[in-house]
Structure 1
Amino acid sequence: MLTSFFKHKLMPAITFHNIEDVLPVTNALQEGGLDVMEITFRTGIAAKAIELVRKNFPEMIVGAGTLLNSEQLAIAVQAGASFGVAPGLNEKVIGTAAEKNFPFIPGIITASELEKALTLGCRLVKIFPCNLSGGIGLIRALQSPYAHTGIQFIPMGGINLSNLHEYTALNIVLAAGGSWIASEELIGQKGFDIITENVRCSIAITR
């Protein structure tokens, strides 16, 4: 199921501080041609933001990001999120996601964490913080011994328009994620047209 969400190989991570920004940002993403987004649980309005998107843009696939515990995951499921994402590997959260049949992407950064993810049944993992930990070189190093397992990666951290192609050109990378499409600064400035253009540029790069 998860692999079908990322046809453009992109997963924008959106952090909302004001509820009035939710619909304009979602519209800007959609206008650019994107139908998937991750709303991070870094602010108290994340669940409400997911509910708003699901109600007003039912065709948008909404993930819940920065899920650090089982309680947050349960809230995300209740809000209508289609999948969850975490920066790290938490066995309890992975177990809760499995119990709820909720598609979940844990975060890893080492070979040992990757092997643990595989043991727990995860075949799609977020690599974070990717660019600070070796970037494209790290992915290539992990790809050699683990590609045969069917694992796929979503690198996040330090990815932008200038290096996006390096990541998405690798077959083991299902999608690249980050805030460059709709940063907190852009949202604060109401730069919705720029967000739309960032989506279009990103899609052009990943084709």
Structure 2
Amino acid sequence: MSNPFDLTARIGVVPVIAIESVDHAIPLADALLEGGLPTAEITFRTEAAAEVLARLHEQRPELLLGAGTILSPEAARLAVQCGAAYGLAPGFDPAVVDAAQSAGLPFAPGIMTPSDISLAAAKGCRLMKFFPAAPAGGPSMLTNISAPFAHLGLRFIPTGGVKLETMGEWLSLPVIAAVGGTWIATARDMREGDWAGITTRARAAVARAKELRP
């Protein structure tokens, strides 16, 4: 399998999903795939997350699965057991990075400051999650805090406040691998069974990414 982060960079956008019911797993996957978006970050913010990952890994292997909100070494190991191809976190925790690396899980810790970047880079991380992207200062902030590390070849996935309308501000930056989007499939969308809406938003996000990175 190719590096999953290389694949997400080619896609340009990753839906960030807090899924509340295992019964929503397959309809969600099918809605994303129909919209041409073959990846998803399933966050460990709900009790259903682990079972959702396992079900999707078994029944929708064509979906590139990420596990998000990995806050403990145990969660990193669980993500691998459930079939996640990559993992992300909102912050930097050296114990979590160590666990992910030991488990062979490609991992992007969260950063918001130059100190965060320094610590993550010292652990060998070359892809990081900039979170919360918009409240932390947006593209200008990331450009400035990442500049001293340019020689390391770091790349980032901004998440938090990113929208379809602002994707261009991010994807125009050379340091951006992909953007994370919570707007594509919200908990409310899934509770209401708005699978068609998820497909529409997924298709629009993919199209926008292709416009920006032909």
The two structures share one fold, judged by TM-score above 0.5:
yes
Aligned to 1:182: 185
Query: What does 1:34-113 align with in structure 2 at a 5 Å threshold?
Result: 34-113=37-116
Distance 1:178 1:205 in 2: 13
Q: Is the CA contact (8 Å cut-off) linking 1:66 and 1:86 kept in structure 2?
A: yes
Point out 4+ residue stretches in structure 1 off by more than 6 angstroms.
none
Partner SS state of residue 177, structure 1 = strand
Q: What amino acid sits opposite 1:111 in the alignment? A: P
Q: Could you tell me whether the CA contact under 8 Å between 1:109 and 1:129 is conserved in 2?
A: yes
Tell me the alpha carbon deviations over residues 91-124 of structure 1, each in whole angstroms, 9 at most, x when there is no partner: 0010111111111110000001101111000000
Deviation at 1:5? Answer: 2.3
Structure 2 Cα separation of the partners of residues 28 and 120 of structure 1: 37
Structure 1 residue 8 displacement after superposition: 1.4
- After TM superposition, list the pairs within 5 Å mapping 1:138-149 onto structure 2: 138-149=141-152
Q: Does 1:31 align with 2:34?
A: yes
How does the TM-score come out when normalised to structure 2? 0.94
Distance between the aligned counterparts of 1:122 and 1:15, measured in 2?
25
Alignment counterpart, residue 175 of structure 2, candidates 168, 172, 175: 172
- 2:7 corresponds in structure 1 to 5
Q: Structure 1 residues 32-41 or 135-144, which shifts more?
A: 135-144
Give the deviation of 1:148 after TM superposition: 2.0
State the Cα RMSD in Å: 1.0
Structure 1 unaligned residues grouped into runs of 5+? none
TM-score (norm 1): 0.97
* Alpha-carbon distance between aligned partners in 2 of 1:83 and 1:181, rounded to the nearest angstrom: 20
Residue 156 of structure 2: aligned partner = 153
